[in-house]
């Protein structure tokens, strides 16, 4: 069986996603959105507006998914603030598409980078907590 770099990379990504905890999945969504925005910026620089718009549309879909992950009933003010931020980021991406210019991507990516950093820290703390609480040879170990 012949394997390509693409299929190996795809298999790795699939495994990474399947084994990620819920908080890490949010970080992966941020990574995907940031990657699509970077791709859009690159395509704009190359003068390839069609591919830039496709990348922006993919970023919008990821932002939509981030909004869908929010539990606004139980999440309180934090969930509401995140919801508003996601709507604002989505709006910046819409402006990029409507105006056909990449400048709104800068603000969108800056906000996403900041949020991603916060979620990465939450994921690190979550992993530490779950690693501490994971049973070892059938015995629960707590710090």
User: Residue 141 and residue 58: Cα distance in Å, rounded?
Assistant: 43
Instruction: Tell me the pLDDT tens digit for each residue of 8-63.
Output: 545 545 455 555 678 899 999 999 999 999 999 999 999 999 999 999 999 999 99
Q: Are 112 and 37 in contact (CB under 8 A)?
A: yes
pLDDT tier, 128 (very low <50, low <70, confident <90, very high otherwise) = confident
CA distances from 30 to 2, 18, 25, 87 (A): 33, 16, 9, 15
Which of 90, 116, 93, 115 lies closest to 104, judged by CA?
A: 93
Q: What is the Cα 117 distance to its own chain's centre? A: 11
Q: What six digits make up the tokens of 21?
A: 């905890």
> Any idea where the domains of the chain sit in the sequence?
17-124
Q: What is the Cα 124 distance to its own chain's centre? A: 16
Q: Is the pLDDT of residue 5 over 50?
A: yes
* Model confidence pTM above 0.85: no
Q: Which fold has domain 17-124?
A: 1.20.120
Q: What six digits make up the tokens of 54?
A: 């496709």
Given 3-state DSSP classes, what are the helix, strand and coil percentages for the chain, each rounded to the nearest 5? 80, 5, 15
Q: What six digits make up the tokens of 87?
A: 């709507």
Q: What is the dihedral of CA 44, 48, 50, 52, to 10 degrees?
A: -30
């Amino acid at each position: 069986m012949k394997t390509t770099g693409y299929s190996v990379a795809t298999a790795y990504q699939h495994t990474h996603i399947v084994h990620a905890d819920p908080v890490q999945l949010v970080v992966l969504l941020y990574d995907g959105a940031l990657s699509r925005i970077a791709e859009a910026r690159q395509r704009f620089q190359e003068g390839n507006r069609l591919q830039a718009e496709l990348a922006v549309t993919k970023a919008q879909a990821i932002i939509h998914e981030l909004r869908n992950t929010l539990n606004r009933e139980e999440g309180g003010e934090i969930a509401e603030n995140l919801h508003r931020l996601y709507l604002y980021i989505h709006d910046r991406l819409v402006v990029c598409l409507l105006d056909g210019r990449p400048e709104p991507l800068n603000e969108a990516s800056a906000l996403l980078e900041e949020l991603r950093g916060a979620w990465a820290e939450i994921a690190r703390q979550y992993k530490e907590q779950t690693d501490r609480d994971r049973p070892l040879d059938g015995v629960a170990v707590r710090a």
